[in-house]
Amino acid sequence: MDKNAASTKTDSPVGREFASLQDKTDSDCRLTDAELGCQDDHAINASTACRLRWVRLRKEISIGENNSGLIRSTISKGNLMTNTLSSRSNSKIILNDLSGEAMSGEVLALMGPSGSGKTSLLDALSGRIKIDSGELFINCTLVDSDMMKKVKRKMAYVKQNDTFFGHLTVLDQLTYTALLRLPGDMSNTDKHKEVQRIVKLLRLHSCLGTMIMRVSGGERKRTNIGTELLTDPNIVLLDEPTSGLDSTSAVALMKTLKELAQTGKTIITSIHQPSSWVFANFDRVVFLAQGSTVYNGGPSSSLDYLSEKGLKCPLGYNAADHWMDLLVVDSLVGEQSSVKILISNWDDEHTALGIMNSIDAEGNNHGKYLLDDRKWNISWFMQFRVLFHRSLKNSRSSIFTTINFVKSVLIALVVGCVWFQMEYTEKTVSNRSSYFFFTMTYWVFDAMFAALMSFPSERDVIFKERASGSYQLSAYYLAKTLSEAPTRLALPLVYMLVSFWMAGLNPEFSVFFFSTICSLLSVLAGESLGLLVGTMVMDMEKAMVALTVFTLTLMLVGGFFVKDIPVWMVWSQYLSPFKFAFDASQYLTFNVNVPCDGSGVLKICNNPDIHYATPKQIREELNVEGTASFNAMMLIVIFFVARLASFVALRSQRGDERM
pLDDT, tens digit, for every residue of 136-178?
A: 888 888 888 777 777 777 788 888 777 888 888 899 889 998 8
Q: How far apart are CA 376 and CA 520, in angstroms?
A: 36
Inform me whether the pLDDT recorded for 71 exceeds 70. no
- What's at 451, amino acid-wise? A
What 3-state DSSP class applies to 96? strand
Mean pLDDT of 228-240: 86
- The average confidence (pLDDT) of the chain is 80
Inform me whether the pLDDT recorded for 495 exceeds 90. yes
pLDDT at position 32 is 41
Closest by CA position to 447, among listed 499, 490, 397, 503: 490
The alpha carbon torsion through 425, 427, 429, 430 (nearest 10 deg) reads -170
**How far is residue 378 from each of residues 32, 184, 300, 382, measured CA to CA in Å?**
28, 5, 46, 6
pLDDT, tens digit, for every residue of 332-387?
A: 445 557 888 888 888 878 888 888 888 777 765 554 555 555 677 788 899 999 99
Q: How far apart are CA 222 and CA 195, in angstroms?
A: 13
Q: Decide if 377 contacts 182 (C-beta within 8 A).
A: yes
Inform me whether the pLDDT recorded for 275 exceeds 70. yes
Mean pLDDT of 305-330: 82
pLDDT at position 87 is 44
Q: How far apart are CA 632 and CA 623, in angstroms?
A: 17
For residue 26, name the pLDDT band (cuts at 50, 70, 90).
low
Q: Which domains does the chain have, with CATH numbers?
A: 40-159+232-366 (3.40.50.300), 399-652 (no CATH)
DSSP string, 280-301: HT-SEEEEEETTEEEEEE-HHH
